[in-house]
Amino acid sequence: MRLLHTGDWHIGRQLNNNGINLLEDQKFIFHEMVKLAQKEQVDGVLIAGDLYDRGLPSVDAVQVFNQIINEFLFEAGLPVYAISGNHDSSRRLSFGQEFFRRQQFFLATDLKDAFEPIETADTQIFLLPFIDPIDARIYYKDEEPESLKDIHQAVSRIVKDMTARFNPQKAHLLVTHFAVAKSGDEAALRSQMLSETLRTVGGLTSLNSSIFADFDYVALGHIHTHHASPSENVVYSGSPLIFNKDEAKRKDRKGVYIIDISPDAVSKKFVELPVYRDFLVLEEHFDRLTAKEFYEAYPRQKARFAFDILTKSRQELEGINVRAKLEDIYGSEIIDISIHSREESSRITQSQKRQERLTASEEEIIESFYKEMTDGEAMTAYQKDAVTDILSQLKEK
């Protein structure tokens, strides 16, 4: 069968978390997704968690989700296989589940849902929502709690019980929502990047992809870029649109996977989605940014912008209303303006470093710590994403 794999919708999310509503962008992108699903003639849609950005979504976010689900089910006639992620309130989402299930919208929000695969002609689709080890300890109440103390032990046990239901005549597909690492990255994460405390908060310790070896395809959610996929068959679709400046700067390509799965073979292709409104990050000197021959090349008034302004010294921009000038040229949706002084960064002292740490973002602190510990190695995109994700979740608590 052919399936569309998406995830990390985060309906209701704000761009760069700074108040700019993405609902219009999200409506557009979901509608494009429905069109793509129809064009690719898929048999169903997998949504790998984090449907909403918050456990308690706004009424507007609820209406957008309602509309897209109606489009998939009743206009395109496509079954939807979805799970709750760590950003969702699983108990809130579970309302109406029985009505949904009877009409081919399979929404798993509870660990117990993981053990009843949906049977299609040639594939068993298992839906494992995001869980915390405590959920596994509650579910397996008869077991020794000692054997389920971290997420690795919990998911191992769950996978064992899922494989016990495998029909050997069929392909086996899992939709789930965790941080899953390639072996190398995982080791890096574990030993260097994060303290023991951070690693165990909220079940965020990453799993090794080998834990899912028995499945033919694992449709993952949690990390927002498909480049973070730990293996050929254990795959992140990434989020369908850009959520912040870092992603925009990396020019992250957003899209979905189209998967062909059968008992004999699995193949996939990444299909980019169109963009409702571009988000461009320009790293330049201020006089370039404001020079006509430079800015005329950009779709001003149409795109959103962020600026990393390079300066030779702190004094260079004194007396200039940088934001007003940039808004005049690039329009009013300027997401972020950062000023980088080359002079300062070249003669940084330890005490300045300490001072910087006080004003730096947590991401920057972790990045610079990583650099120090690895003799100047930069964090990979995957690692940065994991950090951003973990921090945003810690802030939510």
Point out which residues bind its own copies (CB under 8 A). Answer: 56, 59, 62-63, 65-66, 70, 73-74, 89, 91-92, 94-100, 102-103, 105
Distance in Å, CB of 153 to its own copies, minimum:
27
What are the b/e assignments for 48-69, b being 16+ CB within 10 Å? Answer: bbbbbbeeebeeebeebbeebb
- Nearer to its own copies by Cβ, of 70 and 352: the residue is 70
| Angle at 326 (CA atoms; ends 243, 284), nearest 5 degrees | 75
Distance in Å, CB of 28 to its own copies, minimum:
21
- Nearer to its own copies by Cβ, of 58 and 311: the residue is 58
DSSP codes joined into one string, 255-312: EEEEEEE-SS-EEEEEEEPP-SS-EEEEEEEHHHHT-HHHHTTS-TTTSEEEEEEEES
Distance in Å, CB of 105 to its own copies, minimum:
7
CA distances from 149 to 82, 137, 143, 223 (A): 27, 8, 11, 23
- Nearer to its own copies by Cβ, of 84 and 225: the residue is 84
On whether the CB atoms of residues 165 and 117 are closer than 8 A, the answer is yes
- Nearer to its own copies by Cβ, of 100 and 276: the residue is 100
Distance in Å, CB of 94 to its own copies, minimum:
7
Q: From CA 155, how far away is CA 136, in angstroms rounded?
A: 8
Give residues with Cβ within 8 angstroms of 116, minimum separation 6.
Answer: none
- Nearer to its own copies by Cβ, of 18 and 103: the residue is 103
Distance in Å, CB of 102 to its own copies, minimum:
6
Distance in Å, CB of 64 to its own copies, minimum:
10
Spatial CA neighbour of 72 closest among 102, 41, 34, 25: 34
- Nearer to its own copies by Cβ, of 73 and 365: the residue is 73
- Nearer to its own copies by Cβ, of 65 and 257: the residue is 65
- Nearer to its own copies by Cβ, of 73 and 201: the residue is 73
Distance in Å, CB of 34 to its own copies, minimum:
15
Query: For tokens 């509503």, what's the residue?
Result: 21
What are the b/e assignments for 78-116, b being 16+ CB within 10 Å? Answer: bbbbbbbbbbbebeebbeebeebeeeebbbbbbbebbee
Distance in Å, CB of 53 to its own copies, minimum:
16
Q: From CA 99, how far away is CA 138, in angstroms rounded?
A: 27
